[in-house]
Amino acid sequence: MIACIFETMGVVKDGKICKEGLEAWQKESPIPAEVIQTAITECEEITDADHCEAATEIGHCFKETLKKAGLFPED
């Protein structure tokens, strides 16, 4: 399900981050551009032939980036 959502949003494509999609999404997001750029840098190496696994890993990485930026509550 996560993979479908991310692919529909255009932020994940072919099992990896879609930089252009994230940058386009950021224009409508309250998340600051510099945080999105950090997420791209920190998470762009994540890839998996299994798109579901890749989306899950990317989601976790993005969440950790938001936590570091103080934009996501601690668990």
pLDDT digits (tens, 9 = 90+) for 17-75: 999 998 898 888 899 999 999 999 999 999 988 989 999 999 999 999 999 999 977 76
Predicted pLDDT at 74: 72
Predicted pLDDT at 26: 87
In a domain, 49, yes or no: yes
pTM, entire model: 0.85
In a domain, 73, yes or no: no
Identify the CATH number of the domain in which residue 38 sits.
Answer: 1.10.238.20
Predicted pLDDT at 75: 63
Predicted pLDDT at 7: 92
In a domain, 17, yes or no: yes
- 11: nearest Cα among 51, 19, 60, 45: 19
Q: Report the run of H or E that residue 13 belongs to, with start and end.
A: strand 12-13
**Range of the structural domain that residue 48 is part of:** 2-68
Give the distance between the most distant pair of CA atoms in the chain: 31
